[in-house]
Structure 1
Amino acid sequence: MARQLDYPTMHRIFSRFRDANPEPKGELEHVNAFTLLVAVALSAQATDAGVNKATRGLFPIADTPEKMLALGEERLIEHIKTIGLFRNKAKNVIRLSQLLIDNFGGQVPSSRAALQSLPGVGRKTANVVLNMWFHQAAQAVDTHIFRIGNRSGIAPGKDETVVERAIEDNVPAEFLQHAHHWLILHGRYICTARKPRCADCIIAADCQFEEKTA
């Protein structure tokens, strides 16, 4: 595990991310807070591309909790059956739709605790929704961010919670809103698991990863 980078280095790294991509966007397609919540819940152990392919036919007909309930679990399964764990995910989406109506007036809540009270919504899913829809500086740590945090020294930690805290505590405040997306996109396309593209990395000079590729 790399050591935590100091403040000047962190500021330099995130300045480079910002210069390269001032307004990073998540890649899950959605049209409102509800469809974002559903898309993120469906993305567990699945790719964003796979989820987008499934939801392009789903969201035009079920973009509210009420419409999702009207669609029903079996018809929902038909749309998402190409996604891993689709049966359990369909059950959760129907249940969370009902709870949104019963407990939140059909609206997606803007608090982590309320979001995590919904079936199939863990801390990571809640943080993605808080960040992307409600523009809170919440940090959702997935496998990409966990890998980069530990390789580079941006946010070293033994588990996702520690990495999340390291990001919140050590990334300069001006970069926190977009830190999640800069890191996840960097992990997805540059700092890949098997063979990171170190030659194409804009933060390579400050990264502590000892096994850099040529």
Structure 2
Amino acid sequence: MKKEFIEPFFATLRAANPLPTTELEFTTVFELLAAVLLSAQATDVGVNKATRRLFAVANTPQAILDLGVEGLESYIKTIGLYHMKAKHLIEACRILVQRHGGEVPRTREELEKLPGVGRKTANVVLNVAFGEETMAVDTHIFRVANRTGLAPGKDPYEVEMGLMKRVPKEYLADAHHWLILHGRYVCVARTPRCWECAVIQYCDYQPKTPPPGATVRSSSS
């Protein structure tokens, strides 16, 4: 993507959605951390269904610990990889209680020491809960950054670094939300919905996907 296209690309996304946020449901920083930890390789819709039941009975580190692994599993068994996630969340809660007084730490270093919390999860918490300018590169952002030419990279970290350099500062706080939502609903994996794309004129992707039912003229005709 040409450098001069980046600002209007994000201006257009902002105009369509001025106050973007995560689609995970939460009311506290700890609920956000737990929801993001549970969301790996799962849909936000599926996680929300489980956490509505879980958070109604246990929404603090100590309350989760009191459930125990088996008790926690009974609430999250509809989520993929729930055995591993339950163990990680229980151990994370133990560390939060023992080392942080039950509070979620505000630094990347301390967040990434929690079981099940990698760079992406830490970035989400730092951005959504604490307002830091971070880029949580999931599969959607990775695809959009590469497909559009915004910040091509061979792995999530390379894409993250590219985005942090190329996204104008005024858009950094919300950029990862816009990119996730764009990838989730428009620039989808198999067949991007180019005919619905508001930023199509700035995108490097070729060929653009025609609308369903459109007649595609072959190059030999």
Normalising by structure 1, we get a TM-score of 0.96
Query: Residues 158-189 of structure 1, C-alpha deviation per residue, up to 9 Å, x if partnerless?
Result: 11001000110000000000000000000000
| SS of residue in 1 equivalent to 2:104 | coil
- Residue 125 of structure 1 aligns to which amino acid in structure 2? T
Report the secondary structure of 1:205's partner residue.
helix
1:29 to partner: Cα distance:
0.7
Give the one of 69, 74, 83 matched to 1:73. Answer: 69
Match of 2:173 among 171, 174, 177: 177
The one-letter code sitting in structure 2 at the alignment partner of 1:5 is: K
Distance 2:106 2:151 in 1: 26
- C-alpha RMSD of the superposition: 0.8
Task: Name the counterpart of 1:85.
Answer: 81
Partner of 1:149: 145
Following superposition, the deviation at residue 5 of structure 1 comes to: 3.0
**SS of aligned partner of 1:168:** helix
Deviation at 1:13, TM superposition (A): 0.3
Q: How far apart are residue 72 of structure 1 and its match?
A: 1.4
1:5 pairs with 2:35: no
TM-score normalised by the chain length of structure 2: 0.93
* Structure 1 moving runs of 4+ over 2 Å: none
Identity %: 54
* Counterpart Cα distance in 1 of 2:32 and 2:57: 15
Given the alignment, which residue of 183, 186, 189 partners 2:185? Answer: 189
For residues 71 and 60 of structure 1, the distance between their equivalents in structure 2, rounded to whole angstroms, comes to 13
Q: Which runs of 5+ in 1 are unaligned?
A: none
Q: CA deviation at 1:92?
A: 0.7
Instruction: Output the CA distance in 2 between the equivalents of 1:212 and 1:81.
Output: 40
Structure with the bigger RCO (C-alpha within 8 Å, sep 6+) is 1
- Higher radius of gyration, 1 or 2: 2
Report the equivalent of 1:64: 60
Equivalent position amino acid for 1:108 in 2: V
Matched with 1:36 is: 32
